[in-house]
A and B are shown apart, each in its own frame.
Chain A
Amino acid sequence: MDLNFSAEDIAFRDEVKAFLKENWTDQDRKDMGNGLSMDHDMPVRWHRKLAAKGWAAPNWPLELGGCPWTSTQKYIFDIETANANCPRLISFGLNLVAPVLYTFGNEEQQKKYLPSILSGDTWWCQGYSEPGAGSDLAGLSTRAELSDDGTHYVVNGQKTWTSTARYADMIFCLVRTDPTAKIKQQGISFLLIDMKTPGITVKPISTLDGQQHVNDTFFDNVKVPVENRIGEENMGWTYAKLLLTHERTGIAGVARSKNRLSELKIVASAEPTGTGQAPLIEEPTFRAKISQIEIDLMALEITDLRTLAGVQKGGAPGPESSILKVRGTEIQQAIAELFLESAGYYCQPFVQDTHWGSYEGEMIGADYSTSTALQYFSTRPATVYGGSSEVQRNIISKAVLGLKFK
């Protein structure tokens, strides 16, 4: 056991730093703002730069464009890019549909879709949740019927919480192909659908943070070529399950949380305590809260590294990786809450213009305070999407502890 970086790791870190210096300017950093009101194509521009370097998809198999990195090097890359305030890449293509494609897709599908996912030229979104199928995803009812001549499916129904659907070129969907199946997990198929197909309507949903990142996506007699189905008909759930495991890794967000926590410390050193007499960070109650988060994050970091090391030895992460989702999102929320607390009265003003990195006017309160409410309310869905904390706990309870659910 050794926590220190090897000479190769240090050389790798220097290489990442050098790359960032070349490709991620102070202006990029500024335009990124708080990362929530950035231009929607900001992550795409970053994706293209990484792709040019061959660094867009570290987790993919080497022959398809992945990186020959050790888990430690992946960790170093995450830390360095988070510290530079780089945007997170849109994960739907890279981390969600791609593993399904290279694991279960046929050669033609892989050739057709993987290169443009890697280059950042195709934007994907995810059609999983439905109004009636949230935590109980297998309860979905969007229907896909095969045409009589067997050439295409006709899709009808509604998906919801489809993030970035308005910008997406493609959507991968779980649809019901056999409504008579006795077990609801059976009878589901996995389809890739072009967002420009007639019959698809996207309607934005306003969320608590005043943003419209998520949408309702409606399908009205949408024709989908049969060759857009992954694997076998009615086997979609099996493929999706694999994908969900991938969604769970990386969701710990350790690097980003570490970066946010250090920003929080800077901010709290400049804010006054409740009585205005000393920096907020010196107030014992506030400091105790920061320290507690830091300790939780230290533990999570090692748990995350242990999981990554396990993955490197072989296979997908096991059900215990639900810890990363549960604790990682709790920590993100706790940090956002302390930013809010730090801002005091100045968490209240809500002027959308001031949330953008490109805003040049006079701020209200300290520079950071204007987006603290936005950040706080934006982190609340983190314990709901990608399998809620309740579902993650059920997974641990059932698959790790062997406890039976009634």
Chain B
Amino acid sequence: MDFNLSEEQTMLQDSVSRFIQNSYGFEDRKKYIAADNGFSAENWNMFAELGWLGIPFAEEHGGFGGGALETMMVMEEFGKGLVIEPFLATVVLGGGFLSKGGTPVQQEQLIPSIIEGKLQLAFAFVEPQGRFNLADLTTTATASGDGYSISGHKGVVLNGPSADKLIVTTRTSGDQRDESGITVFLVDANAAGVSRRNYPTIDAMQGSEITFNDVKVSADDIIGELNNGLPLIQSVVDDGLLAICAEAVGAMEVLYKTTVDYSKQRKQFDVAIGSFQALQHRMVDMFIEHEQSKSLMLLAAMRLAEGSDEASKAISALKVQIGKAGRYVGQQAVQLHGGMGQTEELNVGHYFKRLTMISHTFGNADFHLNRFGEL
């Protein structure tokens, strides 16, 4: 057993950490959010120059050859700064589909563009009726001429507004909730029949409702296996879960530390409020929740990295913990900051919002508690 990072990993972590400290202050972030596409194009280019966009990709495609651990480290640091650039959507999810299920042609054409920062992707998988069930699909792809025609509605597609290409889960055969009969397609976001309604999300990300109306795609646009897309989808979603949970761990670290600092400075009744035992114990519990979350994050990342059969179970355990911890740490941080915690002017509330949305992404705590029991 070894919980130490390699030299290369330490360098990566240091460089992301430096970026957050130097370029992701509260005011900086506000500017990035206000940009046209809702994030900083300059940052994105810099991520490319620093090689971060190539982290999980194979060296043969120009990547860093990293895996779950490297993604985890980057996302944990990103969580500390509440980074809004679409690393999750484009690199972890979009890139994950291409790496794990893409044809050699798709990989050669697209992965280098991701690494260079020139291609934006979005994963369109949510359907209003399906909630967290990845197999509950009413979006259909039916054979049409040489290819397929996609029709349906996908909701809350993160990074939808900026995406050049969409990765769309569809039903190609079987019934609405069958585990078989699912196929993943790569769809040009500007293809005829694709329409997007874009909006900001409560946690300052960008999302879209996307309708597909008889959108023509070819058999070459299939990612993974025809009619057997679910295992690929689940595998990429597990990677995505690790990524957002790592982000949450970073966010929680900032929250408990910020709260402790505030409690030492804020005076009421002529003393620092941190001297009240009723509050001290709550901050101790925030700290414990963060540490426990970090432990499950490391466990899940190592299980994923080694390709273990236990990986999905560890991921669900992590998501349950993040749901519980994110809620406690977020709510307490806001409460202990009093009125100030409720304002947009303090970073505390922004971390709380992101933690709350993470808890509802890729299945909430209840969903993963159930999945944990079944696995």
Give A residues with C-beta under 8 Å from B: 129, 132-136, 139, 160-161, 205-208, 210, 214, 271-277, 280, 283, 285-286, 340-341, 343-351, 364-366, 373-374, 376-377, 380-381, 383-385, 388-390, 393
Contact = CB atoms under 8 A, between A and B. Distances in A.
B207 interface: yes
Interface in B268-308: 268-270, 273, 276, 278-279
B369 to A, nearest CB: 7
6 nearest A-B pairs in the assembled complex, by CB-CB distance: A136-B268, A274-B367, A276-B136, A206-B344, A350-B202, A276-B133
B22 interface: no
Interface in B119-135: 126, 128-133
A373 B202 CA distance: 7
B10 interface: no
Contact of B131 (A129, A274, A285): A274
B339 A349 contact: no
B343 A207 contact: yes
B201 A348 contact: yes
B366 A274 contact: yes
A285 B199 contact: no
Interface of B: 126, 128-133, 136, 155-156, 177, 197, 199-203, 205, 207, 209, 267-270, 273, 276, 278-279, 331, 334-335, 338-339, 341-345, 349, 352-353, 356-357, 360-361, 363-364, 366-367, 369-370
A275 B361 CA distance: 14
Given A285-B370, A376-B356, A384-B342, A365 B128 contact: yes
Which secondary structure dominates where chain B touches chain A? mixed
Nearest to A271: B131
B369 A208 contact: no
Nearest to B273: A135
Nearest to B337: A384
A274 B339 contact: no
Contacts of A390: 276, 278-279
A340 B355 CA distance: 13
Contacts of B209: 349, 364
Contacts of A206: 343-345
Between B129, B133, B353, B360, the greatest number of chain A beta carbons within 10 A of the residue's beta carbon is seen for B360
A195 to B, nearest CB: 21
A139 B353 contact: no
B255 to A, nearest CB: 14
Contacts of B268: 133-136, 139
B343 A348 contact: no
Contacts of B363: 274
Contacts of A347: 202, 357, 360
Between A129, A134, A271, A366, the greatest number of chain B beta carbons within 10 A of the residue's beta carbon is seen for A134
Given A274-B370, A380-B331, A345 B343 contact: no
B161 to A, nearest CB: 12
A377 B353 contact: yes
B18 to A, nearest CB: 30
B131 to A, nearest CB: 5
Given A208-B344, A283-B366, A383-B335, A350 B201 contact: yes
